[in-house]
Amino acid sequence: MEDTKHFTELGLVNTRDMFRKAMKGGYAIPAYNFNNMEQLQGIVLGCAESKSPVILQVSGSARKYADPTFLPYMAKGAVQMIKALGADIPVALHLDHGDTFDLAKSCIDSGFSSVMLDGSHHAFMENAALTRQVVDYAHKREVTVEGELGVLAGVEDEVSHDVSHYTKPQEVEAFVEKTGVDSLAISIGTSHGAYKFKIKPGEEVPPLRFDILEEIAQRVPGFPIVLHGASAVVPEYVKMINAFGGKMDDAVGIPEEQLRKAAGSAVCKINIDSDGRLAMTAIIRKVFAENPAEFDPRKYLGPAREELIKMVKYKNEHVLGSANRA
């Protein structure tokens, strides 16, 4: 039997107000992915401590991993926890890369306040029709919807593409109009996963296509734009992982100064998944390397959660500009 509830019952908000303020204030809302309790706590505590609004984000497979019935209560638990600590920040629960109407509907019915319908692998008309169907269902329930135009390269859970296709700015107006979406993910050179670019030593990562972003912002003024695949792939974490027995050669991400620049533009939401994974993995590897006899999960997941809090605060303050905006 389905456990139906509205997001307001979980203490969540949709993304409408967050994006309106972010657009006006020249910053971006962080959207951090999570799969388990320590990640979730690390994210909300980091955001509560830096007074940042936050979008808690799960992919379809992360939702399956945590369990679809259990997951909304995790979000509610997180909201209640930070309230008990005296923090008052807006929290949204968002489906990342929803690929069917049924998945989006199931998330909305279970308490999500925002969903993405990623139809970017379909032709334009098909993508628009599918997205419209989700928007019609979502908006009746005050749930906000993110669409996508253009394809990002890289691997993220079940989403995987070899090459990226930049968003065509001339398609954006018609897509926004036809679908009624609240925000749009675009492809301007970010990429999913921890291995974003194949570069030789000494070579620079190719810069984001700010010209495409600017043209889109001119065509749909004031409309919230989303960047996926926007982890920096923090080099210190990669180094730490490799130093303590890991093997992550050639992992490389988006330079933080480019993300900071994007956050000051029409970009209102920046997705960060890989960096959170790296932070936790680096610390867990360090604990195990230094204390091979350790077998209490609190002794490795606890420090990993602490590191995630630190990382989230740093990102909010120095990359997204969302600190002190709650």
Question: Footprint of Zn ion on this chain (CB under 5 A)?
Answer: 228
Residue 96 appears among annotated catalytic residues: yes
Residue number with CB closer to Zn ion (33 or 258): 33
Structure tokens at 255: 């330079």
Residue number with CB closer to Zn ion (132 or 228): 228
C-alpha neighbours within 13 Å on the C-beta side of residue 312: 34
Q: Minimum Å distance from CB 194 to Zn ion?
A: 13
Q: Minimum Å distance from CB 96 to Zn ion?
A: 6
Structure tokens at 161: 């593409």
Torsion of CA 166, 117, 153, 56, to 10 degrees: 120
Q: Minimum Å distance from CB 150 to Zn ion?
A: 12
Residue number with CB closer to Zn ion (11 or 224): 224
Phi-psi category of residue 9: left, alpha or beta, with phi > 0 → left and psi -120 to 50 → alpha: alpha
Residue number with CB closer to Zn ion (63 or 228): 228
Q: Minimum Å distance from CB 99 to Zn ion?
A: 12
Instruction: Give the residue nearest to Zn ion (CB).
Output: 228
Residue number with CB closer to Zn ion (192 or 325): 192
For residues 145 and 167, give the distance between their C-alpha atoms in angstroms, rounded to a whole number. 18
Backbone angles phi, psi at 314, to 5 degrees: -60, -45
Please report, in angstroms and rounded to a whole number, the separation of the first and last CA atoms in the chain. Answer: 37
Residue among 3, 17, 67, 96 flagged as catalytic: 96
Q: Minimum Å distance from CB 185 to Zn ion?
A: 7
Torsion of CA 245, 246, 249, 253, to 10 degrees: -130
For residues 93 and 31, give the distance between their C-alpha atoms in angstroms, rounded to a whole number. 9
The residues that are catalytic are 96
